[in-house]
Each structure stands twice: as structure tokens, then as C-alpha cells.
């Protein structure tokens, strides 16, 4: 079952990557149809796809898509942690506080008790809200980050459950999927918005007008596609990670208490303007925006942990 989950998540990642590259190329083709002022949409696409006319913008969009994937792989840590003060917690660092040292020990315990053959890097992120996330392109370069508020306000078992939850994301092989969706979605939407204003001069032929209309429609459709994709992928993986935490700890109660405390923390304060990094939202343990949220509700997650 565990190996099946990993294979499914690897397949999903490859499909999502292919989908995003295809959307980038499609946007490029539409802009190229406008650029060459094609007499019809079909003729323009045919000429560009079979290189009767060089699809300059399409090639550029392909390079942009592949470049975005490459940058994501190389600089994911900087992308995910940017906008906040953070520090890596190392077992050998004697300057760590008691709570920080205990957090390092908790990670080591969870890794040992789950028989995990790797240890993610551990980061503490300065933030007034209670949250955590896991990220990385592979198990070998994975990381777990928790906020200072989470570390300070949860008891040891609850904190251990959260760490186990994030380790489960890595063990399930879905951190790469979350990283890709979070980063490429934002770049894709920016590319679609800018594409509408590229080569949008006085082209009057029918093909150019049709391509321009499709680009305008994409401005409204792509955010909905992105939202649906993030919701579809993220909700199932949160249930799985909650179950993974309960399995590792052999107890579902610490995870339930942690979810309740985190939810209460967000209910008592508005942190919507605090986190300046939009790519972290899909990766967080908890998403406070339940309307169109990438995460299931706390109530449903607790029901699932209770087997209801």
C-alpha cells in the first residue's frame, strides 16, 4: 500500500509537470497566432506547430516553463522560506534553546520510530501563527519547517504529531507535487496575464482575433483550473499525512489536539497579511481560508482520524 501511494504520487507529479508545460506552450501558440496575424486560427496553429513559420513565442514559453521547473528544483528552499526569518536547527549546535533542542530530538525520534532511512533538514521559521510544512524535490534534499508560534504553543506530543505529519508527506512522495503546483501555478498565471498584452496591436484577421479572444478567456479560466488542481491534489494528501502521523505515534489524539489548537489560533487572529509567500499556502499543515481551500476542513480531518 505504501509503495502504491508513492508510485501514484510520482505519476501525478509527472502528469502535472506535463500539463503545465502544455499550457505554457498553448499560450505561446496563441500569442504567435496573433503575432503572425493568421487568417484563421486553424491555419495559424498548423503553420506554427509544423514549423512552416517559426513559433518564436511558443519556443520562448517552453524555455520559460522548463526554466521555472529547473529553478524550482535548485532553489526550492529559498523559494519556500523566503519572506520570513528562519534558522536551520542542527543537532550539533550548542547555542540552541531548550525548546529548539527538544524539537530536534522530536524529529530524530519520529525518524527512528517510523524506520525512515533519511532525516530531513529542520528549520524554525519566525512567525506569529501556528503552522508547518514539508518541502523538497526528493527525500535526500527534503526539509521540514515549523513556525516559532507552533513550537511554543503545542505540547510535546502535539508537536511530535505535527512533525510526524510532515515527515509522512515526504515519505508519501507528495512534496514534489506540492512544490510544482505551488510555484508553477503562480508563474503560469503571470505568463497568461502578460501574454494578453503581447502583440495585441491592430491585427484584424479572423485567426488573430480568435486567438486574442481565447487568451482573454484563459485569464479567467486558468485561475479556476489552478484552484481545482490544488484542491484535488492537496485535500487527499492531508488526510493521508494525518493518518501517517497517527500511525507513527500509534495514537490519533495528539494530531487531533494539534489541529484544534492550530485552528483556534487562526480563528483568534487575522494572519492573512502576515505571510508574504504565496507558494507556501498549498504546503502548509493548515489553510485558514476554508472557502475554496486546498485543505479539507478541520472537522472533516478530525472525523477521518476518528474513523467516522
The tens digit of pLDDT for each residue in 2-30 reads 678 778 877 887 888 888 899 999 999 99
Cβ contacts of residue 1 below 8 Å, gap of 6+?
Answer: none
Could you give the 3-state DSSP secondary structure of residue 163? helix
Residue 287: its pLDDT value, please? 82
User: pTM here?
Assistant: 0.86
**CA 89, CA 159: separation in Å to the nearest integer?**
15
pLDDT, one tens digit per residue, over 233-258 is 666 788 989 999 999 999 999 999 99
Please tell me whether residue 210 adopts helix, strand or coil conformation.
helix
DSSP H or E run through 124: strand 121-125
Catalytic residue numbers read 166
In angstroms, the CA 200 to CA 269 distance is 45
**Does position 283 have pLDDT exceeding 80, yes or no?**
yes
More confident residue, 138 or 230: 138
Q: What is the DSSP string of 251-286?
A: -SHHHHHHHHHHHHHHHHS--TTT---GGGGGGBS-
Sign (positive or negative) of CA dihedral 19, 22, 23, 24: positive
Q: 33 with 207: CB under 8 angstroms?
A: yes
Task: Kindly state the cell numbers that stand for 253.
Answer: 489524539
- What's the maximum distance between 2 C-alpha atoms anywhere in the chain? 71
Residue 120 · residue 252 · CB < 8 Å = no
* 133: pLDDT strictly greater than 70: yes
In terms of average pLDDT, the best of 82-96, 177-191, 208-222 is 82-96
Per cent of the chain over pLDDT 70 is: 93
- SS3 state of residue 241: helix
Sorted by sequence, the CB contacts under 8 Å of residue 180 that are 6+ apart come out as 13, 16, 17, 20, 69, 72
pLDDT at 291: 45
Q: How would residue 270 be classed by pLDDT, with cut points 50, 70 and 90?
A: confident
Amino acid at each position: 500500500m505504501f509503495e502504491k501511494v508513492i508510485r501514484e504520487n510520482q505519476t501525478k507529479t509527472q502528469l502535472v509537470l506535463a500539463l503545465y508545460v502544455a499550457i505554457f506552450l498553448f499560450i505561446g501558440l496563441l500569442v504567435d497566432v496573433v503575432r503572425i496575424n493568421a487568417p484563421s486560427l486553424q491555419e495559424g496553429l498548423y503553420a506554427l506547430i509544423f514549423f512552416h513559420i517559426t513559433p518564436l513565442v511558443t519556443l520562448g514559453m517552453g524555455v520559460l516553463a522548463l526554466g521555472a521547473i529547473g529553478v524550482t528544483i535548485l532553489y526550492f528552499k529559498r523559494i519556500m522560506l523566503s519572506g520570513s526569518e528562519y534558522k536551520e536547527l542542527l543537532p550539533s549546535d550548542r547555542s540552541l534553546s531548550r525548546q529548539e533542542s527538544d524539537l530536534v530530538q522530536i524529529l530524530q525520534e519520529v525518524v527512528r520510530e517510523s524506520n525512515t532511512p533519511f532525516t530531513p533538514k529542520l528549520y524554525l521559521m519566525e512567525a506569529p501563527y501556528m503552522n508547518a510544512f514539508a518541502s523538497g524535490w526528493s527525500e535526500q534534499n527534503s526539509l521540514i519547517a515549523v513556525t516559532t508560534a507552533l513550537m511554543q504553543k503545542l505540547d510535546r506530543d502535539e508537536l511530535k504529531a505535527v512533525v510526524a505529519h510532515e515527515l509522512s508527506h515526504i515519505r508519501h512522495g507528495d512534496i514534489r507535487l506540492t512544490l510544482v503546483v505551488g510555484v508553477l501555478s503562480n508563474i503560469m498565471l503571470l505568463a497568461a496575464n502578460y501574454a494578453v498584452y503581447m502583440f495585441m496591436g491592430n491585427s484584424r484577421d479572423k485567426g488573430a482575433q480568435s486567438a486574442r479572444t481565447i487568451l482573454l478567456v484563459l485569464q479567467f479560466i486558468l485561475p479556476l483550473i489552478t484552484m481545482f488542481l490544488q484542491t484535488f491534489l492537496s485535500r487527499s494528501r492531508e488526510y493521508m499525512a494525518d493518518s501517517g502521523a497517527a500511525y507513527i505515534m500509534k495514537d490519533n489524539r495528539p494530531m487531533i489536539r494539534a489541529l484544534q489548537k492550530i485552528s483556534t489560533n487562526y480563528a483568534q487572529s487575522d494572519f492573512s497579511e502576515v505571510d508574504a509567500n504565496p507558494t507556501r499556502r498549498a504546503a502548509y499543515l493548515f489553510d485558514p481560508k476554508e472557502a475554496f481551500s486546498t485543505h479539507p476542513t478541520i472537522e472533516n480531518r478530525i472525523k477521518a482520524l476518528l474513523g467516522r
